[in-house]
Structure 1
């Protein structure tokens, strides 16, 4: 699913990997009791300081450090995609290997994201964050010294194991730094910082590949630089971020509320809307597009690697716009059509995105300016359906106590695994045919089919919205 960089209380996957992070503060039940295994917390409580007042000292610097950290980790993932034309030329590998490297990142996020979150709960969130954000950047530095593609693959795989950790840890840290009424602003601020830094960082590192005939070792310089910046982000975390959590009963409940459980996830498939969401996930292939699009611009549209980083920065800016627009359009559709309005908007979005991808990848053109405009157009459509339809719909039907589990089950595990497998395969298809052909059959066609699939939601979704309160009460009673 596409990412929404908005400051809401929904759970949000990464625009590149699809992994999901959770704001545990939005997963509440406000009663005193709860079902076995379900924590019931007061979401608006925060630990007071010694004076009895809520302490926010240093939170501004903490948000800056954490936003910078997320931008660095996301940029490290995009580094390989942007510089793959030079990597492929250096080691004599085809586009199929780009699919392998992209899928490694997705598998790592699916498997190691929960692992690092558990390590953070056990050994301290700040300590683990400094490790995986700062110290782990040395693996990116080491990747720049790879003597052949096999070593690059090994070092890159080790490196991405750490880069997948920051988002779940940071999103688990924020509820302790801000009360619920401030968390939307806090999440929005961090994502705004991350987007702003990322838009600057990508083209800045891309300067190593400036020109029509860039230095063949430009990708190495980029790896060394990005690794060094990652170490810097760890230093900022160590200096500016304070972890207020101590080993208290409230913290145990908070950790319990945000922990993903397979057993709870399986129960959610009894909800028809959730079951239909699983069925549509194989048709959501936008992450396949993102894995290969930068290389496509260089290899088939004739722009330089540096120009490709500028184009992807434009995509990121467009994605911010589409996130905001998606939420507002959804509100308008719901006012006009009721709960079915989100379904209608999603169908319109799916058709629009299929059309945008068709224009961006199937229309023959050459040169930077059309590439920039088409890529900006993609970003301006990219997140409408996710921010305005999918995330709110899942939140509106699952029991409130299991919101985190629902998002993690659908988007971290199910979609993460599906996308990783698809990405692994289509890279070799693109190498055997062309990226243009691959985009047509694995992005445009699935999105068009998905628009038809969404007719199934009209009957079940409004019913599930009406039953959310009942199912929430069932969870509290232990009968769900």
Structure 2
């Protein structure tokens, strides 16, 4: 991608750096750490109907659980990113996405909603480190031309694992205290992945995959690691990043994974075990979407460096809205039709990370990417997820989930698609600006 952008906006003077050694193996280790986060969230949402019965909860309780886990990330993620700069990214990931699993084990012993809420919220505080740090490390493992495929492979693998584990978790609904066993299992798995990270992960260092910085020594590459308030504020002055942030707040599809099972149970009358069946096609669809998104990102950039990625991201929002209408507003006789439509919704949703993550990397310098992803994922996405979760929980209890899904998954997603039209003008300019900055750094380092 960098060579293509240079060819479009200026002459290419150097070929790309050699790939970071063992980058795919390191990506798989990081994926294992992120897997547990999604598994725990899927367990709570997938088994909420039986948790609701066991602890005497209401639909609003699911919204509170979802929102609390996301809102704690708004506070915790910046602290983890600061700790990673103060000590090391590896040590923070080992603690936050590994040893922190003891709180998942504790959640399995919850006797009431208050205890469950506290333990799961503390657990989510640890998981909040994964998204910004792993996203930053991907930018250091992979050059711009392969980041789309790397992100697609990571989220695709997570989706595949989720599609297998989701229905299995759903079957725990038929086991006495099955949800407790699920939480205990996730907690132990969390700790095991922490040990794997400790033994196997090697941090490549910031800027290791940048064309201008890759052949410099690590100290030179990381000379600009200090991040203060002024540099954080400067992120909001990047037009493309600001547009992507607002788009996160309009991303109604975030609601789908949290409320999919309870929606099919409450609105269409399926049993929990039956409704959980859609988690597999949803996960498989998400897998296909992430893989498709990686290739789509490369193709769209080659087709049009200025408009390819913004256009592809727009199309994904509109496609999801259409499929969400068919999959949540029309009553079909059996679970098979929902399984198919949820699979297609998964495809449309899965395309997004392979498009938006590389775009954030492309418009921000290496030392600011962790901060950018903290803002993008751990703050803005978390706030959106919390708002959708709380709103769906309490509004769904008052007026029903069906109109809530129509407003959030269909109407809001169409608005999001229209809003992303604004991205076409500044995106290429912002990418070019970062490339010029890296060129200047290289010349200064070699002077």
TM-score band w.r.t. shorter chain: 0.7 to 0.9
1:68 aligns with 2:68: no
Whole-Å separation in 2 of the counterparts to 1:418 and 1:160: 16
Q: Structure 1 residues 411 and 147, CA, compared in 2 at 3 Å: closer, same or farther? A: closer
Whether the 8 Å contact between 2:150 and 2:294 is mirrored in structure 1 is no
Partner residue, 2:387: 421
Gap regions ≥5 residues in structure 2: 3-12, 206-215
Mapping 1:31-430, distance limit 5 Å? 65-123=29-87, 125-169=89-133, 193-209=157-173, 214-215=174-175, 217-241=177-201, 261-333=228-300, 339-388=306-355, 390-398=356-364, 402-430=368-396
Q: Structure 1 residues 261 and 438, CA, compared in 2 at 3 Å: closer, same or farther? A: farther
**1:380-428 alpha-carbon deviations (Å, 9 max, x no partner):** 111335534x445545555676555444433433333343234323321
Whether the 8 Å contact between 1:113 and 1:168 is mirrored in structure 2 is yes
Q: Structure 1 residues 301 and 332, CA, compared in 2 at 3 Å: closer, same or farther? A: same
Aligned residues: 422
Whole-Å separation in 2 of the counterparts to 1:165 and 1:68: 14
Deviation at 1:151, TM superposition (A): 1.2
Whole-Å separation in 2 of the counterparts to 1:134 and 1:450: 35
Normalized against structure 2, the TM-score is what?
Answer: 0.78
Secondary structure of the structure 2 residue equivalent to 1:315: helix
Q: Structure 1 residues 256 and 353, CA, compared in 2 at 3 Å: closer, same or farther? A: farther
Partner residue, 1:50: none
Whether the 8 Å contact between 2:156 and 2:290 is mirrored in structure 1 is no
Normalized against structure 1, the TM-score is what?
Answer: 0.73
Secondary structure of the structure 2 residue equivalent to 1:365: coil
**1:53-81 alpha-carbon deviations (Å, 9 max, x no partner):** x7x6xx98766554333212220122111
Whole-Å separation in 2 of the counterparts to 1:449 and 1:181: 29
Shifted more, 296-305 versus 252-261: the winner is 252-261
**1:216-244 alpha-carbon deviations (Å, 9 max, x no partner):** 52211211222222233234344544668
**1:137-179 alpha-carbon deviations (Å, 9 max, x no partner):** 2221221211111111111112222233345555666788x68
Whether the 8 Å contact between 2:63 and 2:392 is mirrored in structure 1 is yes
Q: Structure 1 residues 458 and 236, CA, compared in 2 at 3 Å: closer, same or farther? A: closer
More helix by share: 2
**1:271-294 alpha-carbon deviations (Å, 9 max, x no partner):** 433343344333222212322222
Partner residue, 1:19: none
State the Cα RMSD in Å.
Answer: 4.1
Whole-Å separation in 1 of the counterparts to 2:166 and 2:95: 23
Q: Structure 1 residues 474 and 105, CA, compared in 2 at 3 Å: closer, same or farther? A: farther
Deviation at 1:97, TM superposition (A): 1.3
Q: Structure 1 residues 441 and 76, CA, compared in 2 at 3 Å: closer, same or farther? A: same
Whole-Å separation in 2 of the counterparts to 1:413 and 1:80: 22
